[in-house]
Structure 1
Amino acid sequence: MFAALLKTVIRSGGLCIIDSTGRPHLIGDGSPPLVAVRVASRRTDFQLALNPSLMIGEAYMDGTLTIDSGSLYDFIDILARNMAHQDDNAWMALLGRGRRLIKQYNPIAKARRNVATHYDLSGDLYRLFLDNDQQYSCAYFRTPDDTLEQAQENKKRHIAAKLILDRPGLKILDIGSGWGGLALYLARVADADVTGLTLSVEQHKVSQDRAAAAGLADRVRFELRDYRQETGHYDRIVSVGMFEHVGKRNYNDFFRVLGNLLNPDGVALLHAIGDAGIPGAINPFIRKHIFPGADAPSLSELFTSVEASGLFTTDLEILRLHYAETLLRWRQRVAVHRSEIVDIYDERFFRMWEFYLTLCEIGFRRRTNMVFQLQLAKTWDRVPITRDYMFDAERRLTNAPHSEAETHRL
């Protein structure tokens, strides 16, 4: 059944599905890449045909779908390159339309549980594949040869430039502050007072320890609090890699809260994953096993909510392949550290993580995944009318001695 389903979709690439009886089913036009995939049982075959978007990942995790030749990357790449034909199959078209109707509801208690599922995993896991500042979001590659560490430094400078850090003592709010690297960086380069918000107990502890070790605890603090519970007022607000967890039903509320927290002459910068296509839900495997409650907005959904908030969009940048390059480097590091990850968890967890990173990388290379950086202000004339100020600020930060050498690492 799974092979018959794929035959209606796969036009290019050479795919061989070996069913539970050992019979091969050749699919595609035979062009590279060439991949052979084995399905362990009739039950697995039925599950794959019933809900391929979820079950391909689950079967790979469980070892009931294995790669006989070629690689997992090549297999998913073949599927992604042929997704334009999915509407040729009525069942896959129906599944796709059903997912587009889903709009996540994300109250505070559920948000805390969702965050704990992913971000409170072992710190040893993240240290194995992230950069040494543990930036768990899209890096910014100025050149193809940038290391992951260089690209994550680039990202922090790029964001800082857009925040217009034009005077010391700015009060900055970091919504979704991760392990604290960006908050510490902004405090250092702008002599700013920074408050970071997180729902992850593990990240909160690490961030506080880092601020104390850096001698910045007097002006960098981290709160275990939802953004909807924040009551302060800030000159700058930044949020990196958090908006994906807000939930589509809460977009209007998010921007309303942003407007309430931002001072009249303030500037905000939102860095998040989006979808360059029509509104829809994220992949069900990612939602179930990796980021429960997560979503990625289309630009139409994003701007509908921004417009309702009364905030002005003063700049938008689309980062197209930067996350693909980030995920590639994470995936390579995970492969190198396979035995350590298996020791921390188990083989099934490793395959889940491998599938997650591979699926997401290909989503940014082949599908409509992208990252956007949205700059917002309360007044139309708050931001300079050309982007020259960004480039000038980025150059200054690049040449500043504190940009890398003085950043405290984990």
Structure 2
Amino acid sequence: MASAFRALVAKIIKKGLLTVRGPSGEQRFGGGGGRSVTIRFTDEQAEQELAADPQLKLGELFMDGRMIVEEGDIYEFLALVKDNTLSEGLTFGMIWRGIGRIALGQLRNRLPVNHNKRNVAHHYDLDEKLFSLFLDEDWQYSCAYFNPPGISLDEAQLAKKRHIAAKLLPKPGQRVLEIGSGWGGMALYLAEAAGVDVTGITLSEEQLKISRERATVRGISDRVRFELQDYRYLKPEKKFDRIVSVGMFEHVGRANYRTYFNKAAEVLADDGVMLLHSIGQPTVSYITNPFIEKYIFPGGYIPALSEVLPHIEKAGLLVSDIEILPMHYGHTLRHWRERFLARKEEAIALYDERFFRMWEFYLAGSEMAFTHENFFIFQVQLKKSLNAVPHNRDYIGDNERMLQQFESRRMPLQPVSGSQRVLERH
């Protein structure tokens, strides 16, 4: 008798070819004409678990080695499923689990207790050697900007910093705040390119340590400082001419949007400019993918623009520019995944095979969100006063060309380094 999973697959897979192997035998699904993928289950129970709760169990079964992709890879399998229509295959079990997760997500959004630092540490305080396996030379762990198309990952990450700096219009001597400063690359770029004074705040102790080391090595720690601080506790009397936040807003959480933008408005100078760079999704969602929530980014949430803009307006900030980058993160994630897979043995040596498969699934699933689910990057430029930025967009290209001249003279980046301590495995 066919398992519940195979019965479900028969309803879903119409395009392409999926071969399923396991203790109960081999079956093929789909009419061809697309991707061809073969998966194998090591036990019959695995198929039943996947049919009951695919959102969580697909990643867990792959991570645990109970579902093995024998032809193609996990990205191809995910893409094959997304190439087909899922609505016909919904089961009662999937529906009630989805309702339960919506209810839990709503409850978490209303809890007064905030676990930001713990959530950040879960991901960003992993051994820094892990990130060296797939990031660019500046350790930019956010969407790159592939303009022109076809450039390398390093070139695209540099283009991202240049594009953001061009929109910020920084001037020598200005005070800049970076909310979520990562390993320091954006702050160092702004300080050296524009002669500004930068304060970067983070909740990751490992990132803080490395950022400070990098500023010291480059001899600019007198005007680039990094602090272990939550944005909510920034002092209102300390004003900044520019605020930038890249890849951090996804960790704020829907319940905190008003607090976030109120605080930004509070510390932004009257003639100041802010640039927010974040992942967005095309419609409001009430849950985060349960695998990502459990294993990768606890507490994370990808916003729709319709959720963000009302809080910007209520904070008294003016939107001066919105740019949508639809496929750049898909390209970035493809680079990251290929680089990570190419250094599989090193990743396994740092942690183990289960961890490696967990991250392979995370990178593949994230890539698929941009290639198949219409996720995108938005860059929103904010201001308080009408004339804080020019009234046309020509200045962005002009500034980028000037920044390229700076880059040609800039001191080469040193390899990112930090503590060699291998942290407790997650």
TM-score greater than 0.5 by the shorter chain: yes
Question: Which residue of the partner structure matches residue 355 of structure 2?
Answer: 349
Question: Which residue of the partner structure matches residue 424 of structure 2?
Answer: none
Determine the C-alpha separation between the residues in 2 that align with 1:202 and 1:387: 38
- Answer with 178-187 or 27-36: which moved more: 27-36
1:97-150: per-residue Cα shift (whole Å, max 9, x none)? 655563453867511110111000001111111001000000000133211100
**2:4 aligned with 1:4, yes or no?**
no
Determine the C-alpha separation between the residues in 1 that align with 2:251 and 2:316: 22
**2:149 aligned with 1:144, yes or no?**
yes
**Identical positions, percent:** 45
Determine the C-alpha separation between the residues in 1 that align with 2:271 and 2:113: 29
Residue 214 of structure 1, aligned match among 211, 218, 223? 218
Ranges in structure 2 where 5+ consecutive residues have no aligned partner: 417-426
Question: Which residue of the partner structure matches residue 261 of structure 1?
Answer: 267
Cα pair distance change 1:379/1:87, threshold 3 Å: farther
Question: Which residue of the partner structure matches residue 46 of structure 2?
Answer: 44
* Aligned-pair Cα RMSD in Å: 1.8
What is the letter of the counterpart of residue 5 of structure 1?
L
Determine the C-alpha separation between the residues in 2 that align with 1:333 and 1:111: 29
Q: CA deviation at 1:278?
A: 3.4
Question: Which residue of the partner structure matches residue 360 of structure 1?
Answer: 366
Determine the C-alpha separation between the residues in 2 that align with 1:397 and 1:403: 10
- Answer with 86-95 or 312-321: which moved more: 86-95
**2:185 aligned with 1:177, yes or no?**
no
Cα pair distance change 1:163/1:347, threshold 3 Å: same
Question: Which residue of the partner structure matches residue 204 of structure 1?
Answer: 208
Question: Which residue of the partner structure matches residue 129 of structure 2?
Answer: 124
1:213-268: per-residue Cα shift (whole Å, max 9, x none)? 11111110000011111112100000001000001111111111111110111110
Residue 304 of structure 2, aligned match among 282, 298, 301? 298
Q: CA deviation at 1:281?
A: 2.6
Cα pair distance change 1:224/1:41, threshold 3 Å: same
Question: Which residue of the partner structure matches residue 244 of structure 2?
Answer: 238
Q: CA deviation at 1:403?
A: 6.5
Determine the C-alpha separation between the residues in 2 that align with 1:354 and 1:306: 36
Cα pair distance change 1:403/1:37, threshold 3 Å: farther
Cα pair distance change 1:80/1:98, threshold 3 Å: farther
Determine the C-alpha separation between the residues in 2 that align with 1:200 and 1:59: 30
Q: Is the CA contact 2:43–2:66 (under 8 Å) kept in the aligned structure 1?
A: yes
Q: CA deviation at 1:34?
A: 0.9
Ranges in structure 1 where 5+ consecutive residues have no aligned partner: none
What is the letter of the counterpart of residue 175 of structure 2?
K
What is the letter of the counterpart of residue 2 of structure 1?
F
Q: CA deviation at 1:26?
A: 2.3
**2:337 aligned with 1:331, yes or no?**
yes
Question: Which residue of the partner structure matches residue 30 of structure 2?
Answer: 28
Determine the C-alpha separation between the residues in 1 that align with 2:205 and 2:113: 15
- TM-score, length basis structure 1: 0.95
Question: Matched residue of 2:226: which SS?
Answer: strand
1:183-234: per-residue Cα shift (whole Å, max 9, x none)? 0100011100000000001000000111111111111000001111111210
Cα pair distance change 1:96/1:10, threshold 3 Å: farther
Q: CA deviation at 1:322?
A: 0.4
Determine the C-alpha separation between the residues in 1 that align with 2:319 and 2:10: 45
Determine the C-alpha separation between the residues in 2 that align with 1:3 and 1:320: 34
**2:162 aligned with 1:157, yes or no?**
yes
Q: Is the CA contact 2:161–2:186 (under 8 Å) kept in the aligned structure 1?
A: yes
Cα pair distance change 1:54/1:43, threshold 3 Å: same
1:282-338: per-residue Cα shift (whole Å, max 9, x none)? 321111111111110011111122122111111111111100111111111111110
What is the letter of the counterpart of residue 172 of structure 2?
P
Determine the C-alpha separation between the residues in 2 that align with 1:94 and 1:366: 25
Determine the C-alpha separation between the residues in 1 that align with 2:366 and 2:37: 19
Cα pair distance change 1:275/1:404, threshold 3 Å: farther
- Answer with 358-367 or 302-311: which moved more: 302-311
Question: Matched residue of 2:47: which SS?
Answer: helix
Q: CA deviation at 1:400?
A: 2.2
Q: Is the CA contact 1:13–1:30 (under 8 Å) kept in the aligned structure 2?
A: yes
What is the letter of the counterpart of residue 338 of structure 1?
K
Determine the C-alpha separation between the residues in 1 that align with 2:303 and 2:115: 20
